Amino acid sequence: MRAPDLAFAMGLIAEPKASAHLVALDGTLVEFGFEPGRTEVKVRAMSGELLTFSASIEQVELALGLRLAVVQVLAVADAQKHRLLRISEQPPLAPTEEERSAYLFKTWGSLLTRLAQ
């Protein structure tokens, strides 16, 4: 047996803790907290899950301005808490092929008809 395996087996070295990871999600803002020393933002993800993120006062103020929009959230999470890194309004979805065609024919249809003659 190698020395590191023996050390874990004997309990001489603590097992590594779960590391922090990035969380990215889309959702809507549902609650804001301004308690002294505990500013937070609550987001309802598109999956329906409600998550609480600790945030700076500036991030909470930004979130207040985005309260009616669908937002994208980037955070760092570990086993006990989520820390907000970035919050921004979700960009509009790109139009589908059918929507682009309908727009082109609506806008340029009469010109295209005249040019085709």
Rounded Cα gap, residues 21 and 77, in angstroms:
5
State if pTM tops 0.75.
no
Classify residue 52: in a domain, yes or no: yes
> Given this model, what pLDDT does residue 87 score?
92
Classify residue 102: in a domain, yes or no: yes
Q: What is the mean pLDDT of residues 4-24?
A: 65
Classify residue 2: in a domain, yes or no: no
CATH value at residue 102: 2.40.50.140
Classify residue 65: in a domain, yes or no: yes
Classify residue 13: in a domain, yes or no: no
Structural domain of residue 47, as residue ranges?
A: 18-117
| pLDDT of 1 strictly over 50 | no
- How many structural domains compose the chain? 1
Give the C-alpha distances (Å, rounded to integers) separating 14 from 9, 10, 98.
Answer: 10, 10, 59
Classify residue 112: in a domain, yes or no: yes
pLDDT per position as a tens digit, 56-106: 999 999 999 998 889 999 999 888 889 999 999 877 777 788 888 888 888
Classify residue 39: in a domain, yes or no: yes
Best CA proximity match to 41, nearest among 23, 57, 26: 57
